[in-house]
Structure 1
Amino acid sequence: MRRPLPFRRWCNPQLLTRAASTKATKPPIVRIKDATFYRQYPQPGSSPEEEKKNPPLFPELSFSIPSFSSEPQHWSIIGPSSSGKTTFLEILRGQHLSFPPTARSYPYLASDEIASKDLRLRFPGRALQHVGFAGESGGLAGTGTRGAYLSARYESRREETDFSLLDFLKGHTELNPSEDGKETAEESAFLQNVIRDLRLESLVDMPVANLSNGQMRRARIARALLGKPEVLLLDEPLMGLDPPTLTTLSPLLHRLAEDHNPRLVLALRPQDPIPDWITHLCYLGPDCTIEHQGPKETVLSKLKSAATSGKTKTHILTLSEVGRTLTSTGIIEPGSSATSAPSAGTGDMNCTTGAPSFASRGEALIEMEGVKVSYGDKQILGTWEQDVNGEKKKGLWWTIRRGERWGIFGPNGSGKTTILSLISSDHPQTYSLPIRLFGRSRLPQPGKPGISIFDIQSRMGQSSPEIHAFFPKSLTVRQTLENAWSDTFLSKPQLNHERDLDVDAALRWFASELNPSLSPSSSSSSSYSSSSPSTKSRARAGAPTTRARKSATSASPAQYYGEDDDLDWADSLLFGQIPFSAQRVALFLRAVIKHPDLVILDEAFSGMDDYVRDKCLLFLEHGQTMTFDSSSSSSSSSSSSRTTASTIYPTRSIVPTSLPKSQIRLKGLRPDQALVCISHVREEIPSVVREWMCLPEPNEGKSLRLGRLTGPLGRDVQRWTQIWGM
């Protein structure tokens, strides 16, 4: 028998240090040294146009992921939209061409330790798993199945392709799955642990198509973990998660990272809070470049200094929210030592709870009287009792009236999107539930016909992840906005000259956000003419077309266009060709441009950079009448504008637009319009929201909470946490 080491030997500090150094000297999982990457093989002597189509990615990149280290090293890749976060993660997995080829290697994957663990982990594509969330729609993304229409996710299981969450986690999503035999006890235990850690126990029998966006995110992380990768690359995992889920997910990810099981790399937006266990940051600049990388505090200090001095390649306004910290108890703002949760006993005089009261009540647009939604024996909406005129009644009792601005909140899976599907009539149960849409039910009543789906959709505008997932990628940017006047995604819109001018005005106002080839400075929202019609609208009005104008030597170009008034890009650029953030902007404009009776914005601003998001929010309220002051000094703005900006947009000043009144076509929400907004991020709530509803977690015995704000939600942390009941 081998004798144990004497106490003095196995506790010898020199031996412990030597053991730690041995662990620290294990080769990294990924090692990149002075490498430049390309999507396609660069051809010598290529023309500038060809080089523009195949630009270098992250020139002379040096980066590594340690297999083990004596000091924790947990990385997050941060960058605004279109900076290349997903491309960076793909490069780590071995995608894209490396020059020189030997500049990217995977030393640890070639070690004997990996060989004894699982030979399949020798391949980077298996050892490093990428989980992306951009553009997903509930359970319809990444499942191997595809819905054919918006209401598919709300219908009961009818087909063999309607897999349960448990099937999805086990990978049984083929029409004819192979028989791999029974899983071992160890595999079964590991599966149950992952399901428990990600709080999926109550969802395992639910069809994947019925999962909410937040639930599907947890499910996709769980499925990746079941593959037991060495590294998990999470692409924007925090976007769209409610505050309670954020605070519970971060400690779970921390445990995984600490145990190296697996190691984690998180890609985040600048406005996302950075988990407190992240130790290193890599901040991306525009066009797949790196501005800073290293320890978190060092990088944040450099970003703060760059933002103050203006010496940064990144658009300066994308740095206004970077540096918030996510802890297990809440979010800590930069420069603050307290979390976002209010102290015990703190009240908010600007937020009242209970049934909202209204000084003047407009026409009822949507009426729900005791709505309850169930899938089989599982009730997911209306599980509570509600005080209705002093009487307790079961189900959801709710009315949306003209002029009201509603915010709907609640945990992932609480039924927020289901409520909106009832309003838009995408949910099949709308026919059988006590719901009136614009004064009529879906089914005929004595002396009154039922309202058709086309009548409903003509009176509302909607932007949501579901619409984003199903929206045709083959439409041009202009056609995307014109689709607001269509009965379906692919039907011909009912246009006229005035509507063409509205589309032109919106395209010009958001040209730099919609056209990736334009820089923010190449198209100023407050400087160009918004009354000059485009080729299409001029043709409809009988004005000269582009070809006719070029042949008319007596006509000045500015007479028809203005100096920077070329919108040809909107007629040739496809929706599927523009970045994710630009797609979100286009769908937002599609929802508001026709001035519908009801505007529905379901996580409409997620995926946008903070400046783009704020510009959309300002446009929603004021249209073309107000803009952000782009000058270095905000002294030109009025006192009231500065006060509003400091409350809602703390880093920006709001000033009246320089456009003449005669050229302003879009003026924001009208007094007779209603708004319903869903978001889990307080900065994405429009400042006009006053009425709010917070749904409880289903089947937990909690009640629906209603309230009214007496002022903009803005950046008020205490008011936000009171709404959530945190």
Structure 2
Amino acid sequence: MAEIYLDGVTARIGKHARLQDIHLRIGNGQHWAVVGANGSGKSALGRLLCGEMEVLRGTLHLAGKSVCVAFETVDEILGIERYKDDTDFLDRIDQGTPVRDFILEGRPEAARRLEELVGQLGLDGLLDRGIRYLSTGEMRKVLICRALLQEPELLVLDEPFDGLDSASREVLRGLITALTQRGLCIVLLLNRFSEILPCLTHVAYIRDCRLFACGTREQMLASGALRRLHAFHYSLPDQLPRGDKKQDSDSWPGRGPLIEMKQVMVRYDGRYVLNGLDWTVLPGQHWQISGPNGSGKSTLLSLISGDNPQAYANDIRLFGRQRGTGESIWDIKRQIGLVSTAFQESYRVGVTVELAVVSGFFDSIGVYGRYSRTQRDIALQWLEILQMADKRHVPLRALSYGEQRLVLLARAMVKMPVLLILDEPCQGLDEVNREMVLKLVDHLGAGGHTQLLYVTHHPEDRIPCIRHRMEMVAAVGGGFTARLSEAPAGPVPGKA
């Protein structure tokens, strides 16, 4: 591959933001990590390297063929799939585009190479499934597989390890290392210094849409000043904002279990996802849920949040009431705050950051009626806690993926819900914001008003107040069930 270079390049990101005066050279045999905070311009730089940005000035020479795999790609693809969903016109569920067709993109000659990658990426059993039914981690691997079939000279991966379980992360690390050894130029866009692989030769640090520092991997990782810049100490306020008093009066009184599930089973196309799952959540308990990609963690949470119709075919009680006994979905959502990748992908209305947070009071996507001054003030207090108040009038969709995540976290917490469901809440967040969110959620859970259901693939992202564990394990007859345990509370590893 010929040298890639950017000399004094300024490129437009959006209406107001720009990458400024970028100087970067990627030589033959070099592989780079680009590290930076949320909103720093990492994703924009990745798109620039792939020729997807409007260049305002400067000179550049790019690879002949390049591919970027990013969160935004998943968002667009699933949006198209939702638009094409014909379930309402059929006598069955429309499975959508099969994984095999999505990866091959009408190129049957690539089928042999696909079979090689299936084994390497652990995609066995997925090729005939519709892509809209993949987990976050499964979708990430499918996108990387599709990118590799295009045989690019440069492959840019935006947060490739987020959403993957530990086994899948190891597989992907091995694959990326093998690709560098074969001569494919790799650029990883990362929030975590810990994900800078040994096979990467150089590191660039981006800040405020400018390249702040560049150097060899050894030089950059040895820079204590750079690490301190990227990971400052975050202090919580003495008191968190209280929810709206009117909504507090409607909250669940807290008598009896919040959740009771008995022998829960969920199947799609005859294939078990959950099989024989028993689980009870008592008042005051916080739970961490773990398991491999595709083990049904998100399905389990959707049974609780009211978004899965198979809840009515199972023995499930929420907040003391049997599902399917006349309660409305709004009765359920009133008690729940939710953050997940699927929800973030579905939040596509054109609202400002402030309105996105206010919508949490109404459990809606967007705001369609009047809201009170008190609700607005509470929303602004949460934005200030999450260091996002200066973006209150910015359109939500104009923010980076990580910044959107922070806004939707504020939305989930704004009404101080009885139950807060956090499905990979730190996905897409840099080290600073991740530490802030983990401390904030622990503070919220320790306060006693809100109970936590927390899904993570990263053992280092523990929340000290969570003592109860659910591990998704293989069930007899197919699918997954729950292994429950209780662990002593303790500090987050690596934190003071």
TM over 0.5: yes
Give the equivalent residue in structure 2 for 1:317.
Answer: 232
Give the equivalent residue in structure 2 for 1:104.
Answer: 60
SS, match of residue 122 in structure 2: coil
- Please say if 1:377 is aligned against 2:270: yes
**Letter paired with 1:603:** E
Give the equivalent residue in structure 2 for 1:248.
Answer: 171
Q: Is the 8 A contact 1:233 1:266 kept in 2?
A: yes
* C-alpha distance in 2 between matches for 1:91 and 1:136: 19
Equivalent of residue 53 in structure 1, options 16, 20, 25? 16
SS, match of residue 38 in structure 1: strand
**Letter paired with 2:291:** G
* C-alpha distance in 2 between matches for 1:217 and 1:264: 16
Equivalent of residue 327 in structure 2, options 439, 451, 457? 451
Structure 1 residues 200 and 167, CA, compared in 2 at 3 Å: closer, same or farther? Answer: same
Q: Gaps (5+ residues) in structure 2?
A: 235-253
Give the equivalent residue in structure 2 for 1:275.
Answer: 197
The Cα of 1:305 is off from its aligned counterpart by 4.2
RMSD: 3.2
- Please say if 1:513 is aligned against 2:388: yes
- Please say if 1:396 is aligned against 2:277: yes
Structure 1 residues 99 and 158, CA, compared in 2 at 3 Å: closer, same or farther? Answer: closer
SS, match of residue 206 in structure 1: coil
SS, match of residue 413 in structure 1: coil
Give the equivalent residue in structure 1 for 2:117.
Answer: 194
Equivalent of residue 155 in structure 2, options 219, 222, 232? 232
The Cα of 1:610 is off from its aligned counterpart by 2.2
Equivalent of residue 38 in structure 2, options 75, 78, 81? 81
Q: Is the 8 A contact 2:418 2:450 kept in 1?
A: yes
* C-alpha distance in 2 between matches for 1:709 and 1:477: 38
SS, match of residue 204 in structure 1: coil
Structure 1 residues 196 and 614, CA, compared in 2 at 3 Å: closer, same or farther? Answer: same
* C-alpha distance in 2 between matches for 1:423 and 1:491: 24
The Cα of 1:584 is off from its aligned counterpart by 1.2
Worse-superposed segment, 491-500 or 607-616: 491-500
Equivalent of residue 9 in structure 2, options 31, 36, 39? 36
SS, match of residue 585 in structure 1: helix
Map Cα deviations across residues 41-92 of structure 1 (whole Å, 9 max, x no partner): xxxxxxxxx9x9364x3425131241xx4xxx32222222222212222222
Give the equivalent residue in structure 1 for 2:319.
Answer: 438
* C-alpha distance in 1 between matches for 2:340 and 2:486: 24
* C-alpha distance in 2 between matches for 1:146 and 1:376: 18
Q: Is the 8 A contact 1:431 1:441 kept in 2?
A: no
Output aligned runs, 1:478-489, within 5 Å. 478-489=354-365
Higher strand share: 2
Q: Is the 8 A contact 1:318 1:610 kept in 2?
A: no
Give the equivalent residue in structure 1 for 2:337.
Answer: 461
Moved over 6 A (4+): 698-703
- Please say if 1:423 is aligned against 2:304: yes
Give the equivalent residue in structure 1 for 2:457.
Answer: 680
* C-alpha distance in 2 between matches for 1:688 and 1:299: 35
* C-alpha distance in 2 between matches for 1:287 and 1:708: 43
The Cα of 1:128 is off from its aligned counterpart by 0.7
Worse-superposed segment, 86-95 or 499-508: 499-508
Structure 1 residues 294 and 491, CA, compared in 2 at 3 Å: closer, same or farther? Answer: closer
Question: Higher RCO, 1 or 2 (CA under 8 Å, sep at least 6)?
Answer: 2
- Across the two proteins, how many residue pairs are aligned to each other? 472
* C-alpha distance in 1 between matches for 2:209 and 2:425: 26
Structure 1 residues 713 and 168, CA, compared in 2 at 3 Å: closer, same or farther? Answer: farther
Give the equivalent residue in structure 2 for 1:164.
Answer: 98
* C-alpha distance in 1 between matches for 2:359 and 2:54: 39
The Cα of 1:317 is off from its aligned counterpart by 2.0
Q: Gaps (5+ residues) in structure 1?
A: 1-27, 41-49, 110-123, 173-179, 309-313, 320-360, 383-394, 445-449, 517-569, 624-667, 718-726
Output aligned runs, 1:136-155, within 5 Å. 136=74, 141-142=76-77, 145-147=80-82
Q: Is the 8 A contact 1:402 1:673 kept in 2?
A: no
* C-alpha distance in 1 between matches for 2:80 and 2:115: 24
Percentage of pairs with the same residue: 29
Q: Is the 8 A contact 1:372 1:379 kept in 2?
A: yes
The Cα of 1:590 is off from its aligned counterpart by 1.3
Give the equivalent residue in structure 1 for 2:251.
Answer: none
The Cα of 1:468 is off from its aligned counterpart by 0.7
Rg larger in 1 or in 2?
1
The Cα of 1:220 is off from its aligned counterpart by 0.3
